[in-house]
Structure formats: C-alpha cells, structure tokens
Structure 1
C-alpha cells in the first residue's frame, strides 16, 4: 500500500520529542500534541489521547527514553533500578493492553544486556529500540492487512467495532488494515461501524479514518448489530484486540463479546486481527486478563451533558473477553491461525 490517506500516522519521533494526534479532539479537529517528558505521555495514554494496543506500546517505548535521558552520573545498578521504576510507572497507565508491558520488558532486557556499556550508550540504544518497535509495527500491520485478504470476498459487508486503524497503531492498523487493503485491491466492500459506547471510538475515530480513505461505510448504534446480522446484512466481522491468552480467549473493547455471540448464532465468521506482540502465552485463559474499569463520568455524561441522575452508581469496564470458541480465526503478520488455538498460537513463537 502506498503512502496515502489510508495510512494515518498517529505517532512519530521528532528530533527530541514525540508528536501524537490527540484523539480526544477527533473528528472535529486534528490536533497534534508534542510530548516532551514521561509524565505527559503517562497522562496521554491514561486519557486516551493515544490509544490502541500497538500504539500504546510504541508510545510507552518512546516515553521510556524520555524518562531516562536526563539521568546523569549514576552507576549501572542505580540506572537499572531507575529504569525498572520507570517501567512500573508506565505500565500503570493502561493495564489491559499487553503491548505496553511487552515493549517495556523488551527495553528492560536490552538495558540489562548492555550492562557493561557506558550509560550514555545505553540511553542511545533505548531510543533505537523504541524506533525499531515503531518501524516493526508499521511493517507488521501492513502484512496483517495483506494476509487477511483471502478472508474478504470481492463483495462484502464487514462489521467492525472500536478503532483499529492507523490511529491505534504505528500505521495502517490491524482489522482496518484488512479493510484498507481490500479497498486498495478494488474489492466492493461496505463497512458497518459500531459507534462503540461509551467513548465512541467507532463514531469518532473509525468513521474518520474510513472517510479519509473514501471507503463506503455507515455508522450504527452498538445494539443494532443483531438486527443487521438477522437481516443478512453482515458477511463477516473483524475486530482488533488488546490481549489474547494462550488458549485464544481475547480481550477487546467492551461490546466485542456481544458481537461474537451474535455472530455464532447467525453463522457469521468472526475474525480477530492482531500482531504477535498482543498474544500473551503466560496467561492460560481469558479469565486471567486484567480488565480496566474506567471513570463513571464516561457513562453518566455524554460529552459535558449529564444523562443520568446525580450520584448514579456505574460499572464501566473498558474491555470484555471473547471466548476462543466464538472466534473463527486470528490474522497475524505470520499468517492466519485457525483452531485449535492453544496449539496453533504457540506454534507462531517456535
């Protein structure tokens, strides 16, 4: 795929700082935010200025460098303690997305491997690793999109949930990469975009990305998906994920589990697109995936307008877990993975 409207860049390294698209302003305004210290990035991740599992991993890697670059006159032991503290701090911003911890662990391992080197050399290497993680993600997401083409017919109505495009990754996206590449290949596709309550990532972000790419779509409320499937208006569902357990249980934006149950009831293929870095083989099943619960105001308010009585109690999980038996296949940079998932996901790392 060429560099075009379909290849949104949500994050980039610029000389001595990180520049992100502040996604909280989309779609009304495209606002760029310059991140110059680790605290700013923690806040950006927590407040969803930057979001999507791969993009969070990239952002955290750059933030790690911002956190260590000004450390001066210290032994390796002291430097390593500080690095571990920084990693723990960044990991606390969004606990469900495994790419965050994956990126931080990769940098910590690099630091330890270079323990005999001068501290300034280690710092430079950390930035290099962050940039490598970013470039790897761009290549990975492109390959995910290409690998998924055999699953998309020449004419198809595709339903997707949340946002999985360039805004959620280094570029191209995961589930949306499949859609972008299908459009690029000239397939006659139409996309049903779930609004994705309560923060409307589908309405605000996916609709914006599809508009930029001039791909036909219609926005629907989340609870319309069952009607669409029953009416024969959905040929396949493709979503992203924030973490996949060893058995294939998958954590994704709240509402994904509902879609998987409906898809199974209507015999509609349910696909999950992801990079290998989102697979967590250390967790045997999805009940072990930590689920972030977010602020009640996201539910009791719509923008700045209150929609519930004062002091209304809420339960606001950001994710749910789709059981492996509801998933038709995973699409990764190494190819399509079908059941049995416990066996075949493990093979990806051999």
Structure 2
C-alpha cells in the first residue's frame, strides 16, 4: 500500500523507555519527533493534540499504560493491579470523546488482569509486549480498511474529507485516507478536497500536508466552501473518520462533519465513515450518549493569529466534535467490511466477523 512516510506516527523508542511520536502541533512547517517518557508528558501530548486521531491515541494509551506499569512498586499482583487502575484513570482523563483512548486502556488492564501467577516486573514486561501488538494490529486493521473502502470508489473521482484521518491519525495508513493510499498504489487518480476544519485546522495543516507529500492531486477548502464544490459536481464521495460510533450508527467526528453529511445527502453524494472496530462503542446506545469535548475558546479567537481576531469579551463556543446521525451515513467502512443501514443489525455482524477471524 502506498504511503508517504517511512516512519511511524506513534511507536516505542528503541530502548523501550519512551513513546516516540510526530509532534503534530509543529506540522506542516516542521516534522519534529517527540519522546514521551513520563505519564505527565503522555497525558499532555494527548490533551494538546501533539498526538491525535483515534487510532494513534489508542496506540499511545496502550504504550502509556505499559510504561506506567514499569514504574509500579508493588510486592504482589493485587498491589500491582490497584496501582495500575490509578494510572489508567489518570490517562483516561486526557480527552473524553475518542473511544479508542478508553478501549486501549481497558484492553491493557484486562490483559494484565489475565496474567496469573506473575510477579509485578514480569507483568509490566508482558504489558509492554502487548502494547507492541496493539501497534502492529493498527497497521493491519488500517490496511484492511483501505482495501474495503477502495472497493466503493472509482478512478478519477473527486473525494472530500474533513479533518485528518490519514497516516497522522494512526500508525501508518490512517482510516478515511487509507482507501486513497490504496488507490494511489494501484494508479488511481483521485482528486482530494480537504476542508481546512476549524478550529484546529487539521485539514489544512495535516491532511493537505499528507496528500501533497504523497503526490496526490489536492485542493484545500475553507469549511464553508464544501457546498459550492458539491454543487459544481467536483465531489463524488465523502470519506471521514470517527472518534466514537454508537450502537445505532450515530458517529462523533471532528466538528463540522455533521454539516458535510447534510450537504452530501442534499446533493446525493455517498458519505462514508471509515473506522476500526475499536472506535465502535456498543455500550453507547446513540449519539445522544456521547460526551462532546469542549476546548478553550482561544483556539478560535487567537490561536492562529498574530493578534486576536475577535473582540475582547465576546462569548466563545468551541466543541471539538459533533454527532452525525446514522440516517445521513451511506456506510461505515471497517476492517471487517462495510456496515449499512439498519446499523443495529449490520454493526453486530461486524463484531461477529471479528470473533470468527480476528485481524
């Protein structure tokens, strides 16, 4: 599969003592690697979006808890598990919406709980190996999402994406952009349209950067230009990622995704969500149950400007995500195939497929 970077967005440093990430707050001007050695650094990196994207957050959390386990000073297994629960809670508080954060932490805690008759040091070592497996699994999963998503596209199409769900949101391939990379490998000539994606401009800073570096024809749009591009006939499909998918198919993604979905329905354009099963939350009945992260208003009024662009004292509203109802989603592309309405039937089928043959 085609990809633009030979290095990984998230991985374990060679000495096994730190997480090495690409600091995404420095892009696109600089590609800077950052080593996260302490729990404070790991949590800060997740909160400030030095590392972001649901799969990348999950891998970071898995490594983070494994490294935290190595710091535990306990005499027995029960003491180890008690301290591990505290460290898990600390990392879980970094961001509330992306379910991969909680999935990875739960996965690591469950793994540790299943280690019987092990001393704490050995348990920590085994957890680190399990985190390596989480990283490797992300690569396999995203490759499969790319292949499944490509089957829905045609050569020459114009494709709109919102925010960043590419390599920088995962380890190597991404989710919503994985089909684009798969197509590029086969010689497809997609034209990518990237919403800039307020408030953190992750489409402008990250997606446009990825696509340009991969040699893929790319046009950057302000968020409020998507309707015009659709009306002109420039867009034949929309591909977006997800941070949490409810049991009924309602999907939380970066703020502005809902508006794109409404526009796509109006113009008869297929709207696909691309996400691994780790982003699905069967315990979340609908989008109404998804907690939406509220971020500092200064990200809108000051962050990207030499001087404030809004009048002093104006109220600021800055949700990081919105929820797209399942009725607006043409299909959800996972590593186990494409779920379609009714999602209350097709999503459980994906989980059943995972039980039969895990990726």
> Hey, what's the Cα distance between the residues in 2 that align with 1:23 and 1:341?
34
- Look up the match of 2:337: 335
Contact 1:7 1:172 in 2 (8 A): no
Which SS does the other structure have where 1:175 is aligned?
coil
Q: More deviation in 297-306 or 308-317?
A: 297-306
Output the CA distance in 1 between the equivalents of 2:257 and 2:5.
24
Asked if 1 retains the 8 angstrom alpha-carbon contact of 2:193 and 2:219, the reply is yes
Find the aligned partners of 1:200 and 1:128 in 2 and give their Cα distance.
Answer: 35
Question: What is the match of residue 122 of structure 2?
Answer: 121
State the secondary structure of the residue aligned to 2:351: coil
Query: In the aligned structure 1, how far is the partner of 2:110 from the partner of 2:303?
Result: 43
TM-score by length of 2: 0.95
- 1:344 match: 346
Q: 1:8, CA displacement in angstroms?
A: 5.5
Q: Which residue of 2 aligns with 1:191?
A: 192
Question: Secondary structure at 1:234's aligned position in 2?
Answer: coil
Cα deviations by residue, 1:275-325 (Å, 9 ceiling, x for unpaired): 000000101101101100001110111425311112221111000000000
Query: Does the CA-based 8 Å contact 1:6-1:180 persist in structure 2?
Result: no
Find the aligned partners of 1:118 and 1:109 in 2 and give their Cα distance.
16
Q: Which residue of 2 aligns with 1:13?
A: 12
Query: Which residue matches 2:323?
Result: 321
Number of matched pairs: 349
Extract structure 1 runs of 4+ deviating beyond 6 A: none
- In structure 1, the partner of 2:356 is none
- Give secondary structure in 1 for the equivalent of 2:151: helix
Paired with 1:113 and 1:150, the residues of 2 have a C-alpha distance of 39
Change (3 A) 1:166 1:342: same
Contact 2:46/2:94 (<8 A) preserved = yes
Q: Does 1:265 align with 2:266?
A: yes
Q: 1-side partners of 2:20 and 2:34: how far apart? A: 6
Report how far residue 72 of structure 1 moved: 2.3
Counterpart contact for 1:87–1:104, Cα < 8 Å: yes
Tell me which residue corresponds to 2:146: 145
CA distance, structure 1, for counterparts of residue 74 and residue 237 of structure 2: 57
Matches within 5 A, 1:1-350: 1=1, 4-5=3-4, 9-14=8-13, 15=15, 16-303=17-304, 304-350=306-352
CA contact (8 A) 2:72 2:84 kept: no
Q: Aligned Cα RMSD in Å?
A: 1.2
